[in-house]
Amino acid sequence: MDIKNLLEMLEAVQSLAVDAIKNLKDGVDISDVSILTSNIGKIKDALEGIASIPEEVKDLDQEEIKQLVLKGTEIVFAILAAVK
C-alpha cells in the first residue's frame, strides 16, 4: 500500500491554504473565486481518492511516515511564506 491519496489530499490542502491566504490578504472580492478555480484539478484528485485514506493511514510504514512529516513541514513553510 502507498500513501498516494493521502499525499494528494495534503497537496490540495496546501495549495488551497496558500492561495486563500494570498488572495484574501487584500480583502474578499470576486477575483478570489480563483482560489477554487485554480485548484480544481487538485481538489478533484483529492476527492477521488478520499475513500482510500483511512486504509492508507492504517497501513503506514516508517518510510511513509517520513514522507508525511516532510510534507507536513513543507505545508507549514509554504503557509508561513504566504502569510508574509
Please, are residues 35 and 16 in contact by the beta-carbon 8 Å criterion?
A: yes
Q: From the CB of 22, what's the least distance to Ca ion, in Å?
A: 9
Q: Closer to Ca ion at the Cβ: 9 or 35?
A: 35
Reported as half-sphere exposure (CB side, CA atoms, 13 A), residue 81 has a value of 10
The C-alpha cell of 32 is what? Answer: 478570489
Q: Closer to Ca ion at the Cβ: 36 or 70?
A: 36
Q: Closer to Ca ion at the Cβ: 23 or 39?
A: 23
Binding site for Ca ion (CB under 5 A): 23, 26, 32
